[in-house]
Structure 1
Amino acid sequence: MDTVGRKRQVLVLLLFWSFFFLCQTSKAAAAKIPSNLNYTKYRQVSNLRLERIERHLDKINKPSVFTIESPDGDIIDCVHKRKQPALDHPLLKNHKIQKVPPEIPKLKMVKTDGVRDVSNSSKSSDERLGAVNWQLWHKNGQRCPKGTVPIRRSKVNDVLRAKSLYDFGKKKRHGLPLARRVDAPDVVSGNGHEHAIAYTGTSQEIYGAKATINVWDPSIEVVNEFSLSQIWVLSGSFDGSDLNSIEAGWQSG
């Protein structure tokens, strides 16, 4: 009977410690779940998926030299220029970053304070911009230090908005009709995507692009809906086989 009693005691202790460690593991996993996740908007996610998302975010969110918190809640990381995610690409290994273009574009007329200035000013770009807050996170007067690049920190919610972790950060292909029509550049496709296209000939030189974007108060009603105002610089063919784009603008949703 003593032997049976000792076995029962050992079994009870094993069950107790197993239950204890299980509770601690559950608490640790739950601690990784952001408290601001809106489960009425996003489906319930498993701890395994959250761990995969966290590992991916640790990979793409580079260590910052300086951090700025935007009034809208975004976190801007000032990352050393040699540590920016773009340089993780194998083809950009040992890439030399050019601070100035190899060829200076022709002088363009610059409008400052309502007066067009055609003089070749030696002022830096920061001096020309002055106190213009062209990003929301500039409003507190902070800027990233020299030698760093500002990168918005990606969060778990950003990944959950994508269809999957594989699709996160990738542009959705809608198969929009991008036919070049000189007579009617404004195109409204069947799915409600409205856009305008301007293009140049293959022999024309391009030094850059500029746009003034008027942003109002877009109404976002469903999860997959968004309002986007941006400028694209495209290269390649429109069939999508070698199309590359640089995009900048303002998106809500």
Structure 2
Amino acid sequence: MSIILRMSLVMNLLSLLLSTAIVYSNQSTMPLRSFKMSENVTYDCIDIHKQPGLNHPYLKTHKIQMKPSLSRPELKMRTEKNETSNQNKIGCPNGTVPILRSTKEFIINSQMFAENNFHMLSADSPGTHIAGVRSSSGPFRGVKAYFSAYKLNVGKDQVSYSQIYVGSGSGSQVNYISAGWTINPGLYGDQRVWTFGFWKGKDGKGCYNTACSGFVQVSKVVPIVQPNDLKPGVPGFLDYFIHQDKNTGNWWITRFSKGAPSVDIGYWPKELFNLLDNGANMAGVGGVVQASRSGSIPPMGNGNFPNGGRLDSAIFTNIEVLNSNYEQRKMNSFHVDYLVDSEKCYGLKVGKKGFFYKNPLGFYFNYGGPGGNSCGV
């Protein structure tokens, strides 16, 4: 596949990620317990077998997988003192899982987000911009990275992401899974940094988090979507791992935390996809932003260009993949493309061997920038 075709696939994947319509429905199951985290954020503890993810028509006969077939302790790593954790603890009773409540305001915001924002990248409509790395040398069975997030000033009709992802494309069809951080005021109604998970499957549709059917939440403590109240200039960190189960083919999202066991948050069932059965053709990590209708582009990372200082801009470290045999490898042991499509506004600087808070960085890079009104399209 040529570089131009690969780049086109990447941009199509990212545009699909940003433009997919989101459908929210009211809870139809009485929660056993609820946790109000803030004024507009409440989690309901829903019976795991009655959660909204299982309402998908492809999952009528699906049997919940309670944990991955294989544990991977070798993928655990020491993490940093600033790692963002469940600051507001959620502890649903056994047999239930935390589902973010879909308020009327949330439904309205999601509809406005889908209808009024985001465009395909084109000469007359500023759109998606990226700074990251990816490999199209799959099949890959997973992707993992440890990465930072920062509080940013992002407009209501703008979005700024930091994510890991896997995907495959064939003709006009795309299968895609991503997870990470996002600041998306048009969707979530605030300037906070939210964790998220997203999928797009074989029917051309997809969904964020547990807003509609598809994703199966398994952890009773860590939801797939959660706000984080970061202080300006102080990073939060995530250690995320998207991986395909060797026995079932389901795609799991696992979170690693400092001084605690890893948490298998949940998974996207294999029934949702038709191009990911034997792994994903592409795996990548990086920052993504989406312009407002006026063409103004939000900041990415922490808003600073990478200048060589590991703490001066946003960072992705220990970037690894699982190869077709489920073997852990640094991503740069495969052919890697370095993607920066607007050097006026964003940058990417790949690091050499080093340490971060006394931890090995592995394959890593710094990235980001201020955005602005002259980033191109």
TM-score, length-normalised on structure 2?
0.35
Indicate the structure (1 or 2) with the bigger Cα radius of gyration: 1
Give me the TM-score of the superposition, normalised by structure 1: 0.50
